[in-house]
Amino acid sequence: NPLKDLLGNDPSGRLVEYDPKTKRNKVLIDAIHFANGVQLSENEDFVLISESIRCRVLRYHLKGPKAGQKDVFMDGLPGLPDNIRPNGKGGFYIVLSEPRQ
């Protein structure tokens, strides 16, 4: 996989929250392998993050009993996930930029 060769297995991606009032950043998740897309859920209780090199999508909980925790939303995708968009029915469309090898 040329992209994987180029980027290696570098977990340097982050999900960062910016507070315009304080002008400060807060790292919500670090050690993401090629973060490459983010989408807020319809009811704004979680954020999805494409982790391209690992062919999976992470979820970071913003509200509820799991607030502040991350988990794997989708794993074993047949390609490298890129952008994520809502499908208007409570689900998501996920673009795969190239096939998994």
Please report, for the domain that includes residue 71, its CATH number: 2.120.10.30
Q: How confident is the model at residue 87 (pLDDT cuts 50, 70, 90)?
A: very high
The pair of structure tokens assigned to 88 is: 């208007």
In total, how many domains does the chain have?
1
pTM above 0.75, yes or no: yes
Residue 96 buriedness (CB in 10 A; 0-12 / 13-18 / 19+): middle
What are the angstrom distances between the C-alpha of 98 and each of 11, 32, 59, 83? 20, 19, 22, 12
How far, in Å, CA of 11 to CA of 18, rounded?
21
Query: What is the percent of the chain where pLDDT is above 90?
Result: 73
Domain coverage including residue 62: 2-99
